[in-house]
Amino acid sequence: MLKIIVAHPDKEAGAGIVAHLNAQSFQSTLSTTGKDAQKLLSTQNFYAAILHMEIKDHSGYELLNYIKANRPSLRIVITCSATNALLKDDEVMENLVKLGILGVWRPPFALEDLSKIVDSSQNLSFILSKITKQEGQKAEEDVEAKNDDFTSIRIDDFFSGSTVLFDTFVKIGENKYIKILHSGDSFAEERLAKYRQKTEVLYFKSEDRRKYLKILDVLLKKVGKRDDIDDGTKVVMMKNMAQKYVEEISSFGLAPQLLDMGQSLVESMVETVRASPNLIQSLQQMKDFDPTLYSHAYLVSMFSSLVAMQFQWSSPKTLQTLAMASLFHDLGKLDFPKELIGTEVKDLSPENALKYWDHPYMVSRKLSDSKLVDSNVLQIIQQHHEYMDGTGFPKGLKGQKIHPLSRIIVLVNDFCNYLVPRNITPFDAITEMLQIPTTPARYDRQTLFNLCQIFADPEKVKTLTDKADKS
């Protein structure tokens, strides 16, 4: 059982935190003074610390410095009273995060929010240890719950080991579900088979999304390099991982623990792409691409990585930077009203058009505030609508002023936007794009060649670009 120390000046509030954590299968200890907390930290090994910055007799800052010097691997969640100016000072907060703070527990101090911060650091082994396994399956159960409490996954994309790791549902009406699999059940394919003819979608609680992401991350790290695993299966795993990650960000914002998770997910995706030379064949004839914003992020990340791998200068670090920027590039649109997403720019009001033109900077501003994201990622996102001929936005940059990785994303972003709504194969999409007169001038020549080498005939590009050079 993992041990957590709670350093909190209010005995009653601290006891409530301890009781909540103990109910979550932790072994928690309360210290109401900094001196007592430091003594415990010097004699016992703890998994994490909940540190109230206003604790007395050794302040929160003194405790923090002690932990960083003597227990550098300890996971720290900091908090303070709602009126403390510390919570309102973003620069101080970000500096604390850069020191290795796992997260900040903010008002209204919901215990469920604290659990999410602590849970975000847990490895899969600990998650599995908290699940009570049982032989067989519990009976199906009717459930009434808000639709907003759920996230969905295609039934054919559902992965499970021998034990079901979270409650799984089918939807039967507005706010009405049937729980067909319970956490801890022995997995039963017949339960899924029963519903395959009735629905294409399964649901699980949004609160289990991070658990699902950790499961996929571990699975992908294990199977990504294996030749005996079908590449189509790897594609599905990467798609689901990217989609649910962007969903999690849309729900909870760019919290530090989510950025750390994103880095791990990107590393898994890049390693899988690099280790799967036949992956392209699994993508070439696909038509069934989900048009949602979450799926768009995955497609841009996947296709951009494949394009970049063909450059001699590409490296694992370069691919990770590109994949991270690809996942984040349209997060600015999450602040748009739903009716705005997917609307043609020419059909937008002047006010909404301005919002659209600014979305590359909307997301980069959010990320730059965290001070945890590579500056190259920010620059790539800012430039993901800049064209080589200067006709892009928001700054109308031209040619060599555009980051090399931005030149990849701008092409792949347009490629995906052309491909998905037409329900055509990638080969047909790039072939049709090559017939558009503006294509040769808008995109970097070698980047366009690389995309065509994946899906079409590069000689067609050479003919078009040669014509453009002469005109």
Q: Which two tokens stand for residue 110?
A: 């919901």
User: Is residue 219 in some structural domain?
Assistant: no
Confidence label for 407 from pLDDT (cuts 50, 70 and 90): very high
Does the pLDDT value for residue 281 go beyond 70? Answer: no
pLDDT digits (tens, 9 = 90+) for 38-49: 999 999 999 889
User: Is residue 212 in some structural domain?
Assistant: no
Q: Is 250 in the same domain as 366?
A: yes
Q: Is 97 in the same domain as 45?
A: yes
Does the pLDDT value for residue 471 go beyond 60? Answer: no
Domain boundary at 121, 147, 175, which? 121
- Cα(362)–Cα(381) distance, rounded to whole angstroms? 10
pLDDT digits (tens, 9 = 90+) for 90-143: 566 556 655 567 778 877 888 888 887 777 666 666 666 667 788 888 999 999
Could you count the other beta carbons within 10 Å of the beta carbon of residue 278?
9
141-144 and 176-181 beta bridge pairing: antiparallel
Q: Is 296 in the same domain as 386?
A: yes
Domain boundary at 84, 103, 121, which? 121
Q: Is 147 in the same domain as 25?
A: no
Instruction: Report the pLDDT averaged over residues 194-223.
Output: 88
Does the pLDDT value for residue 372 go beyond 70? Answer: no
Cα distance between the two ends of the chain: 71
User: Is residue 67 in some structural domain?
Assistant: yes
Assign 251 to helix, strand or coil.
helix
Signed CA dihedral, 249, 251, 253, 255: sign only: negative
Q: Is 284 in the same domain as 406?
A: yes
- Single-letter amino acid, residue 275: A
Q: Is 418 in the same domain as 373?
A: yes
pLDDT at site 93: 59
Residues spanned by the domain of 102: 3-121
Cα-flanking dihedrals φ and ψ of residue 335, to 5°? Answer: -85, -5
- Cα(327)–Cα(240) distance, rounded to whole angstroms? 13
Q: Is 234 in the same domain as 353?
A: yes
48-52 and 3-7 beta bridge pairing: parallel
Confidence label for 326 from pLDDT (cuts 50, 70 and 90): very high
Percent of the chain with pLDDT over 70: 85
Task: Let me know: does 380 contact 321? Beta carbons within 8 Å.
Answer: yes
User: Is residue 312 in some structural domain?
Assistant: yes
Q: Is 43 in the same domain as 105?
A: yes
User: Is residue 215 in some structural domain?
Assistant: no
Q: Is 232 in the same domain as 189?
A: no
Does the pLDDT value for residue 145 go beyond 90? Answer: yes
Task: Let me know: does 107 contact 87? Beta carbons within 8 Å.
Answer: yes
Does the pLDDT value for residue 368 go beyond 60? Answer: yes
- Cα(196)–Cα(199) distance, rounded to whole angstroms? 6
- Cα(116)–Cα(210) distance, rounded to whole angstroms? 9
User: Is residue 211 in some structural domain?
Assistant: no
User: Is residue 216 in some structural domain?
Assistant: no
The mean-pLDDT minimum among 30-44, 286-300, 346-360, 440-454 falls in 286-300
- What CATH number should be reported for the domain holding residue 430? 1.10.3210.10
Please provide the average confidence, as pLDDT, over all residues in the chain. 84
Give the closest residue to 98 by CA, choosing from 376, 364, 371.
371
Signed CA dihedral, 450, 452, 453, 455: sign only: positive
Tokens 């058009």, residue located: 353
pTM, rounded to two decimals: 0.73
Q: Is 331 in the same domain as 464?
A: yes
pLDDT at site 444: 95
User: Is residue 213 in some structural domain?
Assistant: no
Q: Is 194 in the same domain as 256?
A: no
Q: Is 399 in the same domain as 267?
A: yes
pLDDT digits (tens, 9 = 90+) for 63-96: 988 998 898 878 889 888 877 766 566 566 556 6
The total of structural domains in the chain comes to 3
Domain boundary at 69, 89, 121, which? 121
- What CATH number should be reported for the domain holding residue 24? 3.40.50.2300
